[in-house]
Structure 1
Amino acid sequence: MTGGKVGIIANPASGKDIRRLVAFGSVFDNEEKVSIVRRLLLGLEAAGVDEVLIMPDTYGIGQRALDGLGQRRLRPRVSFLEMEIGHGGADSTLAARLLREAGVGAMVVLGGDGTCRAAAKGCGDVPLVPVSTGTNNVFPVMVEGTVAGLAAGAVATGRSGAVHRAKKLDIIGPEGWRDLALVDAVVTDDTFVASRALWDVERIRAIVCTRCEPHTIGLSAVGGCLAPVRPEEPTGLYMELGRDAAAEPVLAPVAPGLFAPVSVKRWRRLALGEGVRVDAGPRLLALDGEREVLVRAGEEVEIVLSAAGPCVVDIPLALQEAQQKGIFALKEMPV
Structure 2
Amino acid sequence: MSSRIEFCKMDFLKEKLRSLDTDLILIVADLNVWSLYSKTLSLLNIDGKNVLLWKAPDGEKVKDFENLSSALDFFLSRNVHRKAHVVSLGGGATSDFSGMVAALMLRGVKWSTIPTTLLSMVDAAIGGKVAINSPQGKNLIGAFHHPENIWVCDSFLETLDQKEISSGAGEIVKYALLSRDIYAKIIPDVEVKSLIKDCVQFKEEVVTEDFKETGRRKILNFGHTFGHAIEKEYHLPHGISVVWGILLMDILFNDGKYKADIFKIIENLNIDLGESPWLNKEFPVENIMLYLRKDKKTTSSELIDLVVLKEIGNVEILSVSFSEIENKISDKKEDIKKLCSI
Range of TM-score over shorter length:
0.3 to 0.5
Q: Normalising by the residue count of structure 2, what TM-score does the alignment of the two structures yield?
A: 0.38
Higher relative contact order (CA 8 A, sep 6+): 1
- Point out the structure with the larger strand share: 1
Q: Normalising by the residue count of structure 1, what TM-score does the alignment of the two structures yield?
A: 0.38
- Point out the structure with the larger helix share: 2
